Amino acid sequence: MTRTYDELRSARWFAPDNFRGFGHRSRTLQMGYDEQDWAGKPVVAILNTWSDINPCHQHFRQRVDDVKRGVFQAGGFPIELPALSVSENYVKPTTMLYRNMLAMETEELIRSHPVDGVVLMGGCDKTTPGLVMGAISAGLPAIYLPAGPMLRGNWEGRTLGSGSDAFKYWDERRAGTITEAQWKGMERGIARSYGHCMTMGTASTMTAIAEALGLTLPGASSIPAADSNHIRMSADCGRRIVGMIWEDLTPARILTAAAFDNAVTVAMATGCSTNAVVHLIAMARRAGVDLTLDDLDAKSRVTPVIANIRPAGSTYLMEDFFYAGGLRALMARLGDRLHRDCLTVTGRTLGEGIDGAEVWNDDVIRTVDNPIYNEGSLAVLKGNLAPDGAVIKPVACDPRFLVHEGPAIVFDSYPELKEKLDDEDWDITPDAVLVLRNAGPKGGPGMPEWGMIPMPKALLKQGCRDMVRLSDARMSGTSFGACVLHVAPESYVGGPLALLQTGDIVRLDVPGRRLDMLVDDEEIARRRAAWTPPPPRFHRGWGWMFTNHIQQADKGCDFDYLETSFGAPVDEPVI
Ligand code: FES
Ligand code: MG
């Protein structure tokens, strides 16, 4: 299918011989472009999430020029539109408070401007789902350009992984086993180049998911940010979006139920971040695909983890994954577990995109017969503590906690909990279950990554490095430990977690997929009757809007009114 120039939406701005057309053309001339730059050409929006305080996207300032070069070469007219950068490290209280803001911004930037298609430039955790969710709702042809992982960390000859090693060595520092000088050395060595976190954290998970969905060029998500392949891939994105516009290759044609099934399989095979659960569900619902926690759990049970990348794996990082063949090679290994006939941004099938991909290191990308785990990227738990579900990452926790009973120690706020963690005289036993509540979508607010509660100093000194932790928060994709997360409904809205008391016995049964408090129903009912909702956190602004419209974790934390099913589609703007 090839469209004509008159059928493009940007032609409504640029072509007409009328007052508005005059205005749009004269203002483009004002920017120094000439008629031959735009006349008869598709206009490509480049949504760039660069900012001066997002190290993961630092190279986007240059890469956007590579994208533009590709667009011009293919006969399109590129315009860069800056979008919210949601820099994971710096934005407080959590970037998750702003994922939907980026999604809204993406949708409205595309809708309101004279553009025919879009290149989405993202990578740092929430930018991938935010950009993709907005692009789905906008509905124009869209291609995703992943930022790429940064180089491996290096300190005293040792490899360091983003997040995971920071957490690990911080516990050692608190236990007194490393010096301040060593800690300072790590600070200089752990992040050595631009690019997103290079463990299989949320960023690497989400860009892999974007590729498995068919939204990137084949192999794009594995290329390290600092590799010249990344520059060429950026220009390729610019060239390809022009073709996609003529072909009217929209997200609706790519993002089928089968494409999401592929994405879930790939996520599980990579030992994905727990955050993938929330984002996959949100993206699927935007695309009209009813993906549930139960679907994810079912897929996790039958999918071996074959990417030996930290934190699920023990040794390797994304740079090693790229040298081993990258995501194309991993998908080739998955064989008929994937729907090969799904359409991708290339205009060809996923299967055609992975044909010929080879694995160059069988220890990094395992065969399905020799996985690092047979199953268990994620498990979804339900029970009287989480009627709508909770999530744990069994591959990242000490196996002895997979079936566990222990007394709850409950904290109502993160600052209160944090203070107690450093109490060296705290009389806490290794079987205790540390509980943090009011850290969910409304209570956090924004479900901060507080779910990997640091180990209490008192236990660290006894040599303990893991324990059961339970919250309605999320945790970083680079985290590890026996952390039960995403408890839904959250405590702030009166979910049963709100009724748990210190001393109650919590029972965790991962093989049985259960999470319960051993408190009888009558007592639970009595506590429910006595429960009063906490006061609202916001009285104005974004936070007010957020708390009034955010949905629970099991629904993907989208705003109710942004879901595709909420109302009739938005009309094209009047020009
Ligand atoms: Fe950007 Fe980790 S801080 S991906
Ligand atoms: Mg992260």
Domain membership of residue 374 (yes or no) is no
DSSP-derived 3-state class of residue 135? helix
Exposure string for 383-406, b = 16+ CB within 10 A, e = fewer = bbbbebbbbbbbbbbeeebbebeb
Please report which ligand is nearest the Cα atom of 275. 2
Q: Are residues 273 and 139 in the same domain?
A: yes
Domain membership of residue 373 (yes or no) is no
Please report which ligand is nearest the Cα atom of 87. 1
- What confidence tens digit (pLDDT) does each residue in 240-283 have? 999 999 999 999 999 999 999 999 999 999 999 999 999 999 99
d(CA 311, CA 200): 7
Out of 57, 125, 193, 317, mutate this one to test ligand 1's pocket (max ligand atoms within 8 Å of CB): namely: 125
Cα 524 to its chain centre, rounded Å, is: 35
The amino acid at 322 = F
Q: Are residues 289 and 420 in the same domain?
A: no
pLDDT in tens, the chain (575 residues): 699 999 999 999 999 999 999 999 999 999 999 999 999 999 999 999 999 999 999 999 999 999 999 999 999 999 999 999 999 999 999 999 999 999 999 999 999 999 999 999 999 999 999 999 999 999 999 999 999 999 999 999 999 999 888 888 988 898 889 999 999 999 999 999 999 999 999 999 999 999 999 999 999 999 999 999 999 999 999 999 999 999 999 999 999 999 999 999 999 999 999 999 999 999 999 999 999 999 999 999 999 999 999 998 988 999 999 999 999 999 999 999 999 999 999 999 999 999 999 999 999 999 999 999 988 789 999 999 999 999 999 988 889 999 999 999 999 999 999 999 999 999 999 999 999 999 999 999 999 999 999 999 999 989 998 999 999 999 988 888 999 999 999 999 999 999 999 999 999 999 999 999 999 999 999 999 999 999 999 999 999 999 999 999 999 999 999 999 899 999 999 99
CA of 394 to the centre of ligand 2 (A): 18
Query: Which tokens belong to 264?
Result: 């879930």
Token pair 């950026």: residue: 234
Report which protein residue has its CA nearest ligand 1's atom 1.
124
| Ligand 1: nearest atom to the Cα of 55 | 1
Specify whether the CB–CB gap between 209 and 276 falls below 8 A. yes
Report which protein residue has its CA nearest ligand 1's atom 2.
197
Burial of 380 (0-12, 13-18, 19+ CB in 10 A): buried
Residue 396 has a pLDDT of 84
Token pair 């939907």: residue: 100
Domain membership of residue 566 (yes or no) is no
CA of 480 to the centre of ligand 2 (A): 12
ipTM above 0.85, yes or no: yes
Please report which ligand is nearest the Cα atom of 146. 1
Please report which ligand is nearest the Cα atom of 89. 1
Radius of gyration of the chain (CA): 24
Last residue of a domain, one of 530, 545, 569: 530
Please report which ligand is nearest the Cα atom of 276. 2
- Does an H or E element contain 115, and which? none
Report which protein residue has its CA nearest ligand 1's atom 3.
88
The amino acid at 340 = R
Report which DSSP code applies to 9: T
Residue 175 has a pLDDT of 86
For residue 119, list its beta bridge partners.
46, 143
Q: Are residues 53 and 176 in the same domain?
A: no
Q: Are residues 203 and 262 in the same domain?
A: yes
Among the listed residues 436, 406, 371, 361, the one whose alpha carbon sits nearest the alpha carbon of residue 506:
406
Burial of 197 (0-12, 13-18, 19+ CB in 10 A): buried
CA of 457 to the centre of ligand 2 (A): 24
- Give φ, ψ of 497 to 5 degrees: -55, -30
Residue 195 has a pLDDT of 98
Q: Are residues 139 and 263 in the same domain?
A: yes
Domain membership of residue 12 (yes or no) is no
Please report which ligand is nearest the Cα atom of 478. 2
DSSP-derived 3-state class of residue 508? strand
| Ligand 1: nearest atom to the Cα of 88 | 3
Out of 58, 150, 197, mutate this one to test ligand 1's pocket (max ligand atoms within 8 Å of CB): namely: 197
Cα 281 to its chain centre, rounded Å, is: 11
Domain membership of residue 386 (yes or no) is yes
Q: List alpha helices for 343-431, DSSP H.
A: 350-354, 414-421
CA of 527 to the centre of ligand 2 (A): 36
CA of 475 to the centre of ligand 2 (A): 8
- Give φ, ψ of 158 to 5 degrees: -100, 150
Q: Are residues 275 and 393 in the same domain?
A: no
Q: Are residues 134 and 267 in the same domain?
A: yes
> Which residues make Cβ contacts (< 8 Å) with residue 423, sequence separation at least 6?
456, 457, 458
Domain membership of residue 274 (yes or no) is yes
Domain membership of residue 570 (yes or no) is no
Q: How many angstroms separate the Cα of 172 from the Cα of each of 102, 310, 451, 455, 480?
A: 37, 18, 19, 11, 15
Count of domains forming the chain: 3
Cα 464 to its chain centre, rounded Å, is: 30
Q: Are residues 130 and 159 in the same domain?
A: no
Specify whether the CB–CB gap between 67 and 61 falls below 8 A. no
Residue 510 neighbours by CB distance under 10 Å? 20
| Ligand 1: nearest atom to the Cα of 57 | 1
- Does an H or E element contain 74, and which? none
Query: Which tokens belong to 368?
Result: 């399905």
- Does an H or E element contain 464, and which? none
Last residue of a domain, one of 285, 319, 354: 354
d(CA 504, CA 74): 65
Strands 505-509 and 514-517: antiparallel
Among the listed residues 228, 259, 455, 426, the one whose alpha carbon sits nearest the alpha carbon of residue 349:
259
Look up the CATH number of the domain holding residue 470: 3.50.30.80
Q: Are residues 511 and 422 in the same domain?
A: yes
CA of 319 to the centre of ligand 2 (A): 17
Residue 1 has a pLDDT of 64
Among the listed residues 224, 364, 381, 221, the one whose alpha carbon sits nearest the alpha carbon of residue 305:
364
Name all residues whose Cβ lies below 6 A of ligand 1. Answer: 56, 88-89, 124-125, 162, 196-197, 201, 203
d(CA 186, CA 203): 21
Q: Looking at the chain, how many residues does it have?
A: 575
- Does an H or E element contain 266, and which? helix 257-269
CA of 124 to the centre of ligand 1 (A): 5
CA of 152 to the centre of ligand 2 (A): 16
For the chain, counts of helices (H) and of strands (E): 21, 14
| Ligand 1: nearest atom to the Cα of 163 | 2
Domain membership of residue 564 (yes or no) is no
Domain containing 141 equals 41-151+193-354
Q: Are residues 74 and 164 in the same domain?
A: no
Q: Are residues 345 and 416 in the same domain?
A: no
CA of 130 to the centre of ligand 2 (A): 14
Out of 54, 89, 207, 310, mutate this one to test ligand 1's pocket (max ligand atoms within 8 Å of CB): namely: 89
Last residue of a domain, one of 138, 167, 187: 187
Q: Are residues 222 and 181 in the same domain?
A: no
Strands 158-160 and 505-509: unpaired
Among the listed residues 341, 348, 350, 347, the one whose alpha carbon sits nearest the alpha carbon of residue 141:
347
